[in-house]
Chain A
Amino acid sequence: MQRIGVFVCHCGSNIAATVDVKKVAEMARLEPGVVFADDYQYMCSEAGQAKIGAAIKEYNLTGLVVCSCSPRMHEATFRKCAERYGLNPYMVEIANIREHCSWIHKDMEEATQKAVILARAAIAKVNLNAPLQAGESRVTKRALVIGGGIAGIQTALDIADAGYEVDIVEKTPSIGGRMSQLDKTFPTLDCSACILTPKMVDAAGHEKIKIYTYSEVEKVSGFVGDFTVDIRKKARSVDEAKCTGCGVCQEKCPSKKTPSEFNRGLNNRSAIYTPFAQAIPNVPVIDREACIKFKTGKCGVCEKVCQAGAINYAQEDEIITEKYGAIVVATGFDTIKLDKYDEYAYSQSKDVITSLELERIMNAAGPTKGHLERLSDGKAPKEIVFVQCVGSRCSDERGKPYCSKICCMYTAKHAMLIRDKYPDVNVTVFYIDVRTPGKNFDEFYRRAVEEYGVNYIKGQVGKVAPQPDGSLLVQGSDLIDNKQIKIKADMVVLATAIEPNQGVRNIATMLTASIDTNNFLTEAHPKLRPVESPTAGVFLSGVCQGPKDIPETVSQAGAAAVKVIGLLAKDKLTTNPCTAQADELLCNGCSNCAKVCPYGAITYETRQVNDHGIREDRRIAVVNKALCQGCGACTVTCPSGAMDLQGFSNRQLIAEVDAICR
């Protein structure tokens, strides 16, 4: 028989205001196995834990039930506490009377009654708990960063600087990501390339960093500390070792009609290309869809002009298999498609552009060499309208329900830069709210209004109508003046909502990392563990977790790196002892459990068993404790109940069911 202590937490008033904690403790005392029950203001505090410790000693407790917040919050805390006072940590169960009770119920009597039942279930379970020993698993001292934008680069640099090997896998031909497409950055207006390129060079030259560009993660198996990843290195058709990056091939390539991804399709690129001049590696790739040689077999100009003999049409995709201890997702974002927003005439007029397109237009290396001009006729615009929240904060299916966070600031930046360089241009910004929480952010926005004379109008644009004379009639509302206004503009810039990059869902599935309905990866805790995925060993960096600007991304990248370093610094990890185990006397050896095991953790061996005096050789399931992650799929497949899950055993769960239904 267990000697169980029950500890009911008030959580200040979080629990105690709706649950009669004294009553819960009192009722718990009546349960079988309970020898002590008490309540306290903050169980998780040092004083609360000391109380638990004292009770363990005084009452010789063998099991603990803590009625408190979610086990996802403090189970680990109370397990450590138990261990400190000489109890096996797995003799602790949590009754979640906060998130599942006090916070959702208003009626005290009802909430108290439920709390009593939840406590009862936890007590019933502890009665059947057995001490468990955590095992150990090894840590591969190498990290993988998926995505080579500023988030990925910064994470990789920080990990590498701490002395650990790190690989970056980047889908496109060069690292650099979105930041490489930007012209200037807010709120200091320094040139994006000037601050990014040195980091790219650092990463490329770092002895601990290996960069796989034009590559994608194809398969992930294993678990924290011991992931095995297949990386598909797509055929570049150019030998990286031989290429000197002279660029002659790109000049001579006769196929020059492919929209440039880097310039957002505003101009064209050749079939053999590097996305931009500062690309790293400075080695082009052949776009086989566009290449005449690949399409017709005739051409081969690049091969002829390449002095280094680097062109290799026969190159094939390569699969690289590597082991990692930790994986960081830094897959970034893209702007949403605007095909559902007819009212802004984005697809009808070349002069309605997204803000990211404007970045390319403003950039000296962009399609207009940095001259602000209309893409339709090359004329200098005199009247520019910016529209905020295009597709952001939309509760319908056309857009995204969230705030994209960066638009207010970059729109202020764009408006300011234009007014600075072209003082004769009128700039109007339609906004719903201007959100500038950040250091020097609001000052920046105010400068746009006060010093640069940008015309901010509170209201949204309802319609952009291209006119026969090539202008754009913008119809918007001015909510302050209570007017509907019409502006004849030369250019309209849409602050288009951002969304996680395509393919992130696929990566999340491979990593078994959870992802929300907007395709942002979920963090382990929104406040306390913002850079970790709930899946152990997987970390989040940058916009893949939620909209953020460059400074925030860089801070998160560093934070993710620290988490990775903390993990890689360990020689061994303790493994979850809640693993499956087969009872050799009940096992049929039928192999069905192995079929449903996602980790290949179950094998079979023939061994002699002594079944109540009958000795015979039997085929028995054996669980590899290091591989088993404790899902329990095998336990239900097993008809005889031979396979059971420690910590969530059949009898424990049934005891909980019984206690709840009592």
Chain B
Amino acid sequence: MQEVKNRALALLKDGTVKRVLGWRIGENTYDPEPAFFESEEDMQTFVYNNFCAANLSKYMIEASKLEGKTLVCLKPCDSYSFNQLLSEHRVDREKTYIIGVGCKGKLSIENVKRAGVKGILSVNDTDPLQVETLYGNTEVSYKAAMLDRCHVCKGKEHVVYDELIGESEDTSTADRFAQVQMIEAMSPAEKFAFFQKELSKCIRCNACRNVCPACSCRKCVFDSDKFDSAQKANVDSFEEKMFHIIRAFHVAGRCTDCGECSRVCPQGIPLHLFNRKFIKDINTLYGEYQAGADAEARGPLTSFTADDAEPSVVAEGGTK
């Protein structure tokens, strides 16, 4: 996607923007990382390929405090996160120049590995993916290598942008709530065992918290003494359940379901399930709601109707 790079460079050069927020090429095609670029020289390492999965909207919180405009590259789903941050006054639209970049589903090296490929030396991002391994060359279909979240894509439209570059595609093929429904159908003991198993993997690295665009408090409650909940990380009594329930609760109604939490979790915990459960409940009980779709909208937890469901609806199985 040379076009994105060229356009960003042009805007940087003519002074429209002070810096560019994009992805820097990594050691391999598959590990580009978010980066700020402030000069033409910096821009040499700019890359936009199908492995550029990271949602850059959260970085705009810090960028909004900097002098001058920042150019940010947002994929369609990232634009929801940006919009949500905008509604919460966390980012400054005036200081942002958004290039809506095309996206036809992003790739995950983990999924390539999951497809059975071992000893990866290099990989390209074509369809199908050409993979060079210690054991010779092989191919993996694009769809198989796609991030899980892209199978439940929110659509190809950007909800906020200054200009668009590149084609996007709605890559959804699966039911967004299928996994949630699967768990809902389990017996309490099975559910408990499932989450016990998943959450016991948590090492409290806070990657989920750090990457989440909704989880963007200046200081997290789990780091402050406001709830006597701090200082739990350094001892073995850290309450994973408390942390993950509260984290999901704090982003409920604000989470755009960008899926970054699950993408970055080094332990592979399906954290998005918590968020999606809340989204499903909200949709069922209070009407369809997509956080970030409309920066002016009132979230489901900051609004109500007089005849909302009673909490007993849970016991009656009404949220399943």
Contacts and interface: CB of A to CB of B under 8 A. Distances in A.
Answer yes or no: do A and B interact. Answer: yes
B216 A641 contact: no
A53 B298 CA distance: 52
A585 interface: yes
A71 B89 CA distance: 41
Interface residue SS majority, chain B: loop
Most chain B CB within 10 A, of A641, A644, A650, A651, is at A641
Interface residues of A, number: 25
A650 B226 contact: yes
A619 interface: yes
B135 to A, nearest CB: 48
Interface stretch (A319-327, A486-494, A591-599, A622-630): A591-599
Nearest to B88: A590
B221 A641 contact: yes
A608 B93 CA distance: 21
Nearest to A644: B226
B88 A588 contact: yes
A593 to B, nearest CB: 9
A592 B88 contact: yes
A641 B224 contact: yes
A588 B216 contact: yes
B89 A637 contact: no
Nearest to A633: B302
Given A592-B299, A616-B65, A651-B227, A639 B217 contact: yes
B245 interface: no
Interface string B65-96: 10000000000000000000001111000000
A639 B221 contact: yes
B301 A637 contact: yes
Interface residues of B, number: 23
A588 B302 contact: no
Contacts of A655: 228
A308 interface: no
B217 to A, nearest CB: 4
B89 A619 contact: yes
A76 interface: no
Given A595-B298, A639-B250, A641-B227, A586 B219 contact: yes
A654 interface: yes
A461 B225 CA distance: 70
Contact of B218 (A588, A595, A596, A604): A588
A604 B88 CA distance: 12
Contacts of B216: 588
Given A588-B216, A595-B298, A651-B228, A640 B90 contact: no
Contacts of B90: 588-590
B220 interface: yes
Contacts of A585: 218-219
Interface string A600-628: 00001000000100001001000000000
B302 A654 contact: no
B88 A591 contact: yes
Contacts of A583: 226
B221 A640 contact: yes
Given A588-B88, A588-B216, A619-B89, A654 B228 contact: yes
Nearest to B61: A588
6 contacts: A585-B218, A586-B217, A588-B217, A591-B88, A639-B217, A640-B217
Interface of A: 583, 585-592, 595-596, 604, 611, 616, 619, 637, 639-642, 644, 650-651, 654-655
Interface of B: 65, 87-90, 216-221, 224-228, 250-251, 298-299, 301-303
